[in-house]
Structure 1
Amino acid sequence: MKDILFSSGVGFGIGALFTIVRLPIPVPNVLPGILSIVFMYVGYLVVKYFIP
């Protein structure tokens, strides 16, 4: 839980910083790019579940 809160805070801070300096945020701005990141993590979880 501590890692989730820390990474959420870091992500929020980076998003705020990029907005303050008026730069585009460093994430894909299209659905396929976002889904590829999400399903990369899902694939990791599935493999980790079956191969401990």
Structure 2
Amino acid sequence: MKEVILALITGFIVGIIFAAFKLPIPAPPAFAGVAGIIGIYLGFRVMAWIGPMLPEFFK
């Protein structure tokens, strides 16, 4: 949980800095982009979970 809070605080500070310099945000501007990032993370976690059950070809 500490990592999540630190990541949120860091992202908040970076957002403020980018807004202050009128730069585009370095993140997906829409919920679909955020959902894509979550999907990538979940796919990675699922593969780590089922990977040992798969044949060597898929590892």
TM range (shorter): 0.7 to 0.9
Q: What is the letter of the counterpart of residue 20 of structure 1?
A: A
Q: TM-score, normalised by structure 2?
A: 0.66
Higher relative contact order (CA 8 A, sep 6+): 1
RMSD: 2.0
What is the aligned-residue identity percentage?
33
Structure 1 residues without counterparts, runs of 5 or longer:
none
TM-score by length of 1: 0.72
Aligned residues: 52
Structure 2 gap ranges (5+): 53-59
